[in-house]
A and B are shown apart, each in its own frame.
Chain A
Amino acid sequence: MNNFAGADTLIEICYFIATALFILSLKWLSSPATARRGVLAGEIGMALAIGGTLLHHGIVDYKWVVIALVLGTIIGVPLGNVQMTAVPQRTALSHAFGALCVTLVGTAEFYLRAPDIPPFMMTVLSMEVILGSLTFTGSLMAAGKLQEILPQRPITYKGQNFVNLALLGSAVVIAGILVAHPEQMRLFPALIIVPLIFGVMLIIPIGGADMPTVISLLNSYAGLSAAAMGFVLNSKLLVIAGALDGSSGFILSVIMSKAMNRSFTNVLFGGFGQIQTTAAAAKEERPVRSATPEEAAGILASASKVVVVPGYGMAVAQAQHKVRELYDSLTKRGVDVTFGIHPVAGRMPGHMNVLLAEADIPYDKLLEMDVINGELPQTDVALIIGANDVTNPAARTDQGSPIYGMPILDVDKARTVMVIKRSMAAGFAGIDNPLYYLDKTLMLFGDAKNFVGNIVRELSGSDGHG
């Protein structure tokens, strides 16, 4: 008995230190200078927590625990070493795994404890299972869309919102019945299956450009379900880790929705899908000016300040390394090159920063929207690579535009605007971009990677001109 008490105290001390380390870990992540220390703190905390748990006196069978830990590591290592362009889908997949773990534990706990489950306990257990299972399928769907296994276009149908609300409503009703009558154990599978379906239905109408918000939201759900699991298991460590993850996801979703001038409900239930058809139909042919790589190189070389605006198109074309060559080549000529990063550029929060950092572009050249908007009026050339809606001036001026009110990068205030784009096809929202028809705008048609590569070649070929 004494031995048990000793081990229990040791476990509690491990958990206590782990909790402190987790909080420090996030605190140190606030700046790139201390961020890696933050990861180390997280790792030590995790090792302490897992090590402490293995001392638990109730554990009678280590064989499967060890096998599972090894198997998880074998799966985890390749998932940690994916290409940087695959980070959004990897993140979505890891939300799914986290949610799966929580749902399975919740299910096991229910069958271990039923039918004697107090109402309050059953309430949090239901929350755990509902949030867990909807996050599981929702995240798998999101990962599928990001990996392009599933169609990226939003799929909408009549009565979609009704179906979704009905599904969510019935999950809540089932939970309510189980809270009142936990002995109705036959109902429990429905408490998992209905949210599983809801998770699929929830992501079907989501388009690619809404992914940053949706991934953040799923992040938040995953955290909340883990916190609920902490309530069930009476583990303060889990409650705290879940609350940290939940609030992180929540903050990111708020930032993302604000950056698109849309509410959560609008992202989840609105869908730009319907607008797509009407806006595209109303489009008319207007003349645009285009330029060759030589002309573009000439203009860039004679500029003194250039702002590059990357978007998802840069990620798709894997153009970040060519962009870095362009950055080097221009910087060598004394041109001041910075990058303007819109919060929702790409497919997840911070996506562009990671890709550009991967290409070795110093992070102090990556500027946030507010900063870069102050500099754009003094900028000679704004070079847009694979970004569209986040540069659309209609968001400022055209009250009828679906993206009206969305904060954008004011690239139209620069002296010259260059847009690298495959064709004149409209962006995600299907909205025409008036930027392309301005007199100061030059369209550079082609694949982002090739075009930037050609500009770099022109620049190195014409050394000495400037």
Chain B
Amino acid sequence: MKLDLLSSLYVFMLAAFIGFEVIRRVSPLLHTPLMSLTNALDAIAVVGAIILAGEHKSNLAAILGTIAIVAATSNVVGGFIITDRMLRMFKSSGPKKS
């Protein structure tokens, strides 16, 4: 268990560095879609909730897990839809005449 936590700590550190480097390059133009996209990706927490609700180890865990799935899924679905809607709107003046 202790080793798991330690290796998670290494993973966290590396991922945070990758996050900094990748996200620093995102143009300020796209900061709103960035936030909604990371929000949708963050809702990957749904996998934890699915296992909790599905394993049904206790009633409490199953109920909390079920509510958690609803909350996270709405973020996944809503987050991806709105990010794509926003990105579709960004058009360059280059190819198409305005």
Contacts and interface: CB of A to CB of B under 8 A. Distances in A.
Contacts of B27: 30-32
Contacts of A323: none
Contacts, number: 383
* Interface residues on chain A, size class: 35 or more
Nearest to B29: A353
Interface in B36-56: 36-56
Contact of B68 (A29, A105, A241): A105
A81 B85 contact: yes
A154 to B, nearest CB: 23
A244 B15 contact: yes
Nearest to A223: B42
Interface string A223-243: 100110111011111111111
A43 B77 CA distance: 9
A216 B35 contact: yes
Given A27-B22, A72-B74, A35 B33 contact: yes
B22 A73 contact: no
A238 B50 contact: no
B42 to A, nearest CB: 4
B8 A331 contact: no
B77 A73 contact: yes
Interface in A198-229: 215-216, 219, 222-223, 226-227, 229
Q: What DSSP secondary structure best describes chain B's contact surface?
A: helix
Interface residues of B, number: 85
Nearest to A351: B32
Interface stretch (A361-369, A379-387, A400-408): A361-369
Interface string B59-76: 011101111111111111
Given A32-B87, A247-B16, A353-B32, A60 B56 contact: yes
* Max chain A Cβ within 10 angstroms of own Cβ: one of B44, B73, B84: B44
A103 to B, nearest CB: 8
7 contacts: A46-B43, A56-B51, A80-B77, A87-B86, A97-B75, A120-B2, A247-B16
Given A53-B47, A353-B28, 9 more contacts: A23-B22, A26-B19, A42-B41, A49-B47, A56-B50, A64-B53, A79-B77, A240-B15, A362-B91
Interface of A: 18, 22-23, 25-27, 29-32, 35-36, 38-39, 42-43, 45-46, 49-50, 52-54, 56, 58-62, 64-65, 67-69, 71-73, 75-82, 84, 87, 90-91, 94-95, 97-98, 100-102, 104-105, 107-109, 111-112, 118, 120-121, 124, 215-216, 219, 222-223, 226-227, 229-231, 233-249, 251-252, 255, 328, 331, 341, 343, 348-351, 353-354, 357-358, 360, 362-366, 368
Interface of B: 1-2, 4-5, 8-9, 11-12, 15-16, 18-20, 22-58, 60-62, 64-94, 98
